A and B are shown apart, each in its own frame.
Chain A
Amino acid sequence: MHEANTSKPLWVQSASASIRMLQEGRVSARQLTEAYLARIAEIDGRIHSFHHLAEARALSAADAADREIAAGRWRSPLQGIPFGVKDNYDVAGLPATAGSRLRSGNVPTRDARLVADLEAAGAVLLGKLATWEYGTGNGGEYFDLPFPSARNPWDTSRFTGGSSTGAGASVAAGTAAFALGSDTTGSVRLPAAACGLVGVILPQGRLSGHGILPNCYSLDVPGPLTWTVEDAAVVLDVLLAPANSYRRSITRPIAGLRIGVVRGPLGRFGAPDASVEQAFEEAVRILERQGARIDDARLPMPVSDCFDVTRLIGPSESAAIHEAELRERSHEMGFALRDKLLAGSLVRAVDYIHAQRQRRLMADAIDDLVRGYDAIITYGPLHVAPRLGVEPEMTAFTVETVLTPFNLSQHPAVVQCTGYSAERLPLSWQIVANRHDEATALCVAAAYERATPWRTIRPAL
Chain B
Amino acid sequence: MSEITDWTLVATADAIAAKKVSAREVTDALLQRIAVRQPLLNAYISVDPDRARASAREADERLARLGPSGPLHGIPLAHKDMFYRPGVPVTCGSKIRRDFKPDILATVLARLDAAGAITMGALNMSEFANGPTGVNVHYGAARSPWNPEHITGGSSSGSGSAVGGRLAYGSLGSDTGGSIRLPAGICGVYGIKATQGRVSRYGSMGLSFSLDNIGPLARTARDCARMLGVVAGADDDDPTAAPVPVDDYEAACNIGAKGLRIAVATNHYWDGMDSEIGGVLENALDMFGKLGASVSRRTVPFHEELRGLGNIVISSEFCTLHDDWLRNHHDDYAPLVRARMKQGYTFTAVDYLKAVQVRPRITNAFVDDVFGDADALFLPVLRFPVPKIADVDVRDGPRMNEILGSINHCTWPINYLGLPGLSVPAGFSRSGLPVGFQLVGRPFDEAMLFRIAAAYERETGWTERRPEIAG
The 8 closest A-B pairs by CB, nearest first: A320-B353, A352-B349, A316-B349, A349-B316, A349-B352, A347-B349, A349-B347, A353-B320
Cα separation A352 to B356 with both chains bound (whole Å): 13
Q: Is B401 an interface residue (CB 8 A)?
A: no
Q: B448-461, CB under 8 A of A: which get 1 and which 0? A: 00000000000000
Of the four ranges (under 10, 10 to 19, 20 to 34, 35 or more), the interface on chain B belongs to 10 to 19
B316 CB contacts on chain A under 8 angstroms: 349-350, 353
Q: B307-350, CB under 8 A of A: which get 1 and which 0? A: 00000100011011001000000000000000000001101111
Q: Is B354 an interface residue (CB 8 A)?
A: yes
A347 CB contacts on chain B under 8 angstroms: 348-350
A345 CB contacts on chain B under 8 angstroms: 348, 350
Q: Is A357 an interface residue (CB 8 A)?
A: yes
Q: Is B351 an interface residue (CB 8 A)?
A: yes
Q: Which residues of B contact A (CB under 8 A)?
A: 312, 316-317, 319-320, 323, 344-345, 347-354, 357
Q: Is A348 an interface residue (CB 8 A)?
A: yes
Q: Is A319 an interface residue (CB 8 A)?
A: yes
Docked-complex contact B353 and A348, CB < 8 angstroms: no
B352 CB to nearest A CB, Å? 4
A312 CB contacts on chain B under 8 angstroms: 349
A354 CB contacts on chain B under 8 angstroms: 320, 323
In the complex where A320-B354, A320-B357 touch, is A349 in contact with B348 (Cβ < 8 A)?
A: yes
In the complex where A320-B357, A349-B312 touch, is A357 in contact with B320 (Cβ < 8 A)?
A: yes
- Of A217, A344, A348, A349, the most chain B CB neighbours within 10 A belong to A349
Shortest Cβ distance from B354 into A: residue? A320
Q: Is A273 an interface residue (CB 8 A)?
A: no
Cα separation A153 to B320 with both chains bound (whole Å): 47
Cα separation A312 to B353 with both chains bound (whole Å): 12
What are 8 sample pairs from A and B whose C-beta atoms fall under 8 A apart? A217-B357, A348-B345, A349-B351, A350-B316, A350-B323, A350-B345, A352-B352, A353-B352
Docked-complex contact A344 and B350, CB < 8 angstroms: yes
Q: A332-350, CB under 8 A of B: which get 1 and which 0? A: 0000000000001111111
A217 CB contacts on chain B under 8 angstroms: 357
Cα separation A177 to B347 with both chains bound (whole Å): 47
- Of A319, A348, A350, A354, the most chain B CB neighbours within 10 A belong to A350
Q: Is A281 an interface residue (CB 8 A)?
A: no
Q: Which residue of B312, B317, B349, B354 contacts A348 across the interface (Cβ within 8 Å)?
A: B349
Docked-complex contact B344 and A350, CB < 8 angstroms: yes
Q: Is A400 an interface residue (CB 8 A)?
A: no
Cα separation A235 to B354 with both chains bound (whole Å): 36
A320 CB contacts on chain B under 8 angstroms: 349-350, 353-354, 357
Q: Is A351 an interface residue (CB 8 A)?
A: yes
- Of B317, B344, B353, B354, the most chain A CB neighbours within 10 A belong to B353
Q: Is A63 an interface residue (CB 8 A)?
A: no
Docked-complex contact B347 and A348, CB < 8 angstroms: yes
Docked-complex contact A319 and B320, CB < 8 angstroms: no
A351 CB contacts on chain B under 8 angstroms: 349
A319 CB contacts on chain B under 8 angstroms: 349-350, 353
Q: A313-326, CB under 8 A of B: which get 1 and which 0? A: 00011011001000
B312 CB contacts on chain A under 8 angstroms: 349
Q: Which of A332-389 contact B (CB under 8 A)?
A: 344-354, 357
Cα separation A96 to B351 with both chains bound (whole Å): 28
Docked-complex contact A349 and B354, CB < 8 angstroms: no
Cα separation A352 to B351 with both chains bound (whole Å): 11
Q: Which residue of B317, B344, B350 contacts A316 across the interface (Cβ within 8 Å)?
A: B350
Cα separation A217 to B317 with both chains bound (whole Å): 19
Shortest Cβ distance from A353 into B: residue? B320
Docked-complex contact A349 and B323, CB < 8 angstroms: no
Cα separation A354 to B345 with both chains bound (whole Å): 12
Shortest Cβ distance from B357 into A: residue? A320
Cα separation A348 to B344 with both chains bound (whole Å): 9
Cα separation A353 to B353 with both chains bound (whole Å): 10
B320 CB contacts on chain A under 8 angstroms: 349-350, 353-354, 357
B323 CB contacts on chain A under 8 angstroms: 350, 354
In the complex where A317-B353, A320-B354 touch, is A353 in contact with B348 (Cβ < 8 A)?
A: no
A357 CB contacts on chain B under 8 angstroms: 320
Cα separation A59 to B353 with both chains bound (whole Å): 44
B357 CB contacts on chain A under 8 angstroms: 217, 320
A5 CB to nearest B CB, Å? 53
Cα separation A347 to B320 with both chains bound (whole Å): 13
Shortest Cβ distance from A350 into B: residue? B320
Shortest Cβ distance from B315 into A: residue? A349
Cα separation A316 to B316 with both chains bound (whole Å): 14
Cα separation A275 to B352 with both chains bound (whole Å): 44
Shortest Cβ distance from B323 into A: residue? A350
A114 CB to nearest B CB, Å? 23
Cα separation A357 to B317 with both chains bound (whole Å): 11
Cα separation A380 to B353 with both chains bound (whole Å): 31
B317 CB contacts on chain A under 8 angstroms: 353
A2 CB to nearest B CB, Å? 55
- Of B319, B344, B349, B354, the most chain A CB neighbours within 10 A belong to B349
A358 CB to nearest B CB, Å? 11
B348 CB contacts on chain A under 8 angstroms: 345-349
Cα separation A312 to B317 with both chains bound (whole Å): 16
B379 CB to nearest A CB, Å? 29
B359 CB to nearest A CB, Å? 13
Cα separation A351 to B350 with both chains bound (whole Å): 11
A317 CB contacts on chain B under 8 angstroms: 349, 353
